Structure 1
Amino acid sequence: MEWQLQDAKNKFSKVVQKARQEGPQIVTVRGERTAVVLSAHDYDALCSGRPTLVDDLLGGPGWDDQLADAVDMRAKTPSRDAF
């Protein structure tokens, strides 16, 4: 169901109730879809199984031995000449 923003504000508890019972509720501003109110159950289902940013970063490609050696060598050599 679609709700104009003013109606959604005035009847927020009803919007939430319908989201729980009927599914996502769309909020419009000047006829344009702007927001969606979801039940917690729908939101959890939407987010489940999706990797987090940390999962993405840690799950990146592994380092081969050559790359690991290059990183180890760089850490041992100064990046600037000492004066």
Structure 2
Amino acid sequence: MLHILHRSPQSGDFKACLGRIDPATDDILLIADAVYAVLTLNMPEGISLYALERDLKARGVTANAAVMVIDDAGFVALTEKHSSSLSW
């Protein structure tokens, strides 16, 4: 499943999402204010974490090496990779 997070890392949705991730099959995509999570990254091991490049740039945030930065085409590719997605 693709989990698309768009709210601040301090939101309850963000924390609830992390509790439902299966590192073997799920990916997380950070968009909008969720990209701030790369500043205080505390993700469980083994999670594939992506961030939308335009949202990082719009907020002046730089991702570290643990985050795969993608463009809109990469966003589409992630949605095609997963049979379902859930927006948080």
TM-score by length of 2: 0.28
Q: Greater share of strand residues, 1 or 2?
A: 2
Report which of the two structures shows the higher radius of gyration computed on alpha carbons. Answer: 1
Q: Greater share of helix residues, 1 or 2?
A: 1
* More contact order relative to length (CA 8 Å, sep ≥ 6): 2
TM-score by length of 1: 0.29
